[in-house]
Amino acid sequence: MKDQILKIKEEASQELKKAENLQTLNNVRVEYLGKKGKLTAVLRGMGELPAEERPIIGEFVNKARDEIEKSIKQKEKELKDKAMQERLEKEKIDITMPSKKTPIGSIHPITGVIDDMKEIFLGLGYQIADGPDIEKTYYVFDQLNTPIDHPARDLQDTFYINDNIVLRSQTSSVQIRVMETQKPPIKIICPGAVYRSDSVDPTHSPVFHQIEGLVVDKNITMSDLKGTLEIFAKKCLGENTQIRFRPHHFPYTEPSAEVDVSCFVCKGKGCRVCKNEGWIELLGCGMVHPKVLENCGIDSNIYSGFAFGCGLERIAMAKYGIDDMRLLFENDIRFLKQF
């Protein structure tokens, strides 16, 4: 029987040498070590042996089984390594080849300006406030000291949904909502879309974006407003930017002013962009009217404040040298990919 076992071992060894893949290797394992395998058949035939020979032959069979299993594991590792190497060769990537060009988008100029302005005012300790685009006239006009006969409330200027509901024409409505629900000190900016009944031309659009700021606290003065706007202009348009105040009138601020910045093109010398004036109108501002404070439940004898607001399209045009607002809304990739 030993000769039979040695013969089975030799046959298994030869079959393992011929195995070219894992499937063939598994067939060899089943043929020699499976339940109906050749070596298992030898074990079943041990009952016919004399009792004194059974331990010897059993040990010999187990040793043969261990050797065959060891050879199978070694062969399995070789085949797996070979398969992996073939796969690596087949699937390898030539890193010297140029990569596929993937189109990458960029931030829209308006979004970029909003992000920049948020960064500036967050650095100055402001918070960001938001409110609905569809708003009550109570917040857009009444609480802002804008009487019923004011031109801003005409149909020519405002989109009415009904007598009491409008598309907000300014983000000042957010300021009112904050002042009604929050006690001073208040320090906020309100960026967002606004809507006015304007014809489309290089400098006007029926929908555009604004950012407004509001500060309410004790002992707030016009000098605080001027210092804030100087910092904003320099951070947003360049350190050499100068500002000037011109008297103006807004029903919700007193005194009020229009703010100009030195022309970013000619640096104040005069050109077609600034209409040879050297200055470009940028925003409106002023000290919050005492009546507006009182309307919101804030004692104007204790608190004062300033407010300002500007069109973000105007900032984007000044910052990037754009001479037609319509370019910002036409979604022309040739234009937008410059930014």
What's residue 211's pLDDT? 93
Give the burial class of 186: count Cβ atoms within 10 A of its Cβ; 0-12 exposed, 13-18 middle, 19 or more buried: buried
Rounded-to-integer distance, Cα 270 and Cα 286, Å: 27
So what's the pLDDT on residue 136?
95
Average pLDDT on 9-20 reads: 76
Q: Which CATH class is domain 109-336?
A: alpha beta
Residue 23 has pLDDT above 90, yes or no: no
Pseudo-torsion of CA 117, 118, 120, 126, nearest 10°?
Answer: 130
Q: What is the pLDDT of residues 128-183, one digit of tens each?
A: 999 999 999 999 999 998 888 888 788 778 899 998 999 999 999 999 999 999 99
Please state, for a pLDDT cut of 70, what percent of the chain lies above it. 91
Return d(Cα 85, Cα 82) in angstroms, integer.
5
The domains of the chain are located at 2-91, 109-336
**Both structure tokens of 322:** 């754009």
Q: Give me the chain's average pLDDT, please.
A: 85
pTM of the model: 0.66
Taking only the tens place, the pLDDT of each residue in 201-254 is 877 889 999 999 999 999 999 999 999 999 999 988 888 888 999 999 999 999
Q: Which long-range contacts link 49-54 to residues 24+ away (Cβ below 8 Å)?
A: 49/1
